Amino acid sequence: MDREGLLLHLEGELLMTSQDVILGILMETSCSGYDIKHKFETLFSHFYNASYGTIYPTLSRMEKSGLITKESVVQAGKPTKNIYTITEQGRRAFYHYLESELGEVEIKSDFMIRMYFGALAQPELVSKWLTEGIRNTERALAVLYEERERSQAILSPTQRICLNIGITNQENLLQQLEAGLSELGS
Amino acid sequence: MDREGLLLHLEGELLMTSQDVILGILMETSCSGYDIKHKFETLFSHFYNASYGTIYPTLSRMEKSGLITKESVVQAGKPTKNIYTITEQGRRAFYHYLESELGEVEIKSDFMIRMYFGALAQPELVSKWLTEGIRNTERALAVLYEERERSQAILSPTQRICLNIGITNQENLLQQLEAGLSELGS
DNA sequence: AGACTCATGTAAGTCGTTACATGATTAC
DNA sequence: GTAATCATGTAACGACTTACATGAGTCT
């Protein structure tokens, strides 16, 4: 009886975690936790982020489980840093992630939520949000433009797609926000 | 000594949570947990989501703290449902959220991460991701177009901005993905 | 004098997901 | 007969953020 019973959750989703992203970064070049955070804030900013409170404990855990190795580098005039390098086991773990099922986009946009409920707020508040949204988008675009300038020649084909998606998306967003602001202001 | 010490974290960020979004939904109309989930999957899908495992416990907590009231509605041929209605205290809490500082966009896109590391994957895998991405985007667009058809006339100005951003973003994404796929395929 | 960059880490707590548990009705 | 829709809820667990803690060097 019940031949299908007893824990049949073998196909659990196993979504992308910080560990997978860190493995990918270390596939390209060895990094410190600080370097990784910097990449999150520049290269990955429009599709991923994680705080130091995630990065450092994750790196420790990964070292313990043999996915990466640590090397302490003493520097003159700067704090000592820990450079992490991926191991063969780490590479296998990364390829395993690439073979796994594609996960959904997870997004929580406070700005869009406020826009949706904008009719319940005072018009000045909505204008403030739009102005702030425009400023944020311009800042994000500046980072992306700079990245394109700096690394266009060395980008892989898929990185170029990635960057194009980011840039066109932010440009579109900026245009919509500006149109919205002038529409509401009139 | 140390007159600035002793817990000076009075300006904690207090980011948007599910509770704020649920309050916003209930500002417009009373809903069951099931109805709220449905709204998340249609109206909010491209900028917010939450599972039943968040919605139901949040509704219970909100009722206990007096932000909403519950009414059980017995239905013929369907399960009994709990309809939640916002209270005056709940309205105040929502206005308080609207006055709070605008939070950053939180985004984790497995798809974009894979694109970024695409050079490390086999070309067929990348094509599969792109094809899947195109399918997902088309599905999202269909939902948005349908929403525009159904409710264009009754949308508030900011909801129209919201919908325009969603549609133009997805259209742009679709275009970029298709361009990317044909570029890689050749 | 103050701000920023470089650099690492922990502790407490929040927030949220997944899987489990149930079950009638309707549509194909 | 099988899938989808309608409907609610809990328990275990995982992932992540914030605040705290420290500190030298450089730039304005």
Mean pLDDT of B96-123: 96
Distance (Å) from the alpha carbon of A170 to chain B's nearest alpha carbon: 9
DSSP state letters, chain B: --TT-S---TT------HHHHHHHHHHHS-B-HHHHHHHHHTTTTTT----HHHHHHHHHHHHHTTSEEEEEEEETTEEEEEEEEE-HHHHHHHHHHHHSPPPPPEEE-HHHHHHHTGGGS-HHHHHHHHHHHHHHHHHHHHHHHHHHHHHGGG--HHHHHHHHHHHHHHHHHHHHHHHHHHHHH-
Q: A102 in contact with B at a CB cutoff of 8 Å? A: yes
Nucleotides of C under 7 A from a protein CB: 6-12, 14-20, 23-26
Q: How far is CA A123 from CA A3, A115, A175, A184, in A?
A: 62, 11, 20, 8
The yes-or-no verdict on residue B11 having pLDDT over 60 is: no
pLDDT tens track, chain A, 186 positions: 222 333 333 344 568 999 999 999 999 999 999 999 999 999 999 999 999 999 999 999 999 999 999 999 999 889 999 999 999 999 999 999 999 999 999 999 999 999 999 999 999 999 999 999 999 999 999 989 999 998 999 999 999 999 999 999 999 999 999 999 999 987
The first and second tokens of residue A81, run together, are 């840093």
pLDDT for B13 beyond 90: no
Residues of B in contact with A26 (CB under 8 A): none
Contact A120 B173 (CB under 8 A): no
Cβ neighbors of A155 (< 8 A, separation 6 or more) are A163
Separation CA B170–CA A104 (nearest Å)? 15
Locate the chain A residue with the closest alpha carbon to B26. A117
What is the model's pLDDT at position B14?
Answer: 63
Please report the pLDDT score of residue A13 as a whole number. 53
Confidence class for position B76, pLDDT limits 50, 70, 90 = confident
* pLDDT at residue A9, rounded to an integer: 36
**Other residues' Cβ atoms within 10 Å of the Cβ of residue A163:** 21
Contact A106 B159 (CB under 8 A): no
| Chain-chain contact of B48 with A112 (C-beta, under 8 angstroms) | yes
In this prediction, residue B94 has a pLDDT band, given cuts at 50, 70 and 90, of very high
| Least confident segment among A14-23, B1-10, B89-98, B174-183 | B1-10
- Per-residue pLDDT for B135 more than 80? yes
- Please report, rounded to whole angstroms, the spatial distance between the CA atom of protein residue A11 and the C1' atom of nucleotide C20: 15
- Number of Cβ within a 10 Å radius of residue A72: 8
The first and second tokens of residue B173, run together, are: 């994404």
- In b/e form, how buried is each residue of B93-117, taking b as 16+ CB within 10 angstroms? bbeebbeeeebebebbbbbbbbbbb
pLDDT on residue B1: 26
User: Do the Cβ atoms of B180 and A161 come within 8 Å?
Assistant: yes
Q: Which residue of B has its CA nearest to A95?
A: B121
Q: Determine the distance between B18 (CA) and C15 (C1') in angstroms.
A: 9
Q: For residue B58, name the pLDDT band (cuts at 50, 70, 90).
A: very high
- pLDDT reported for residue B113: 98
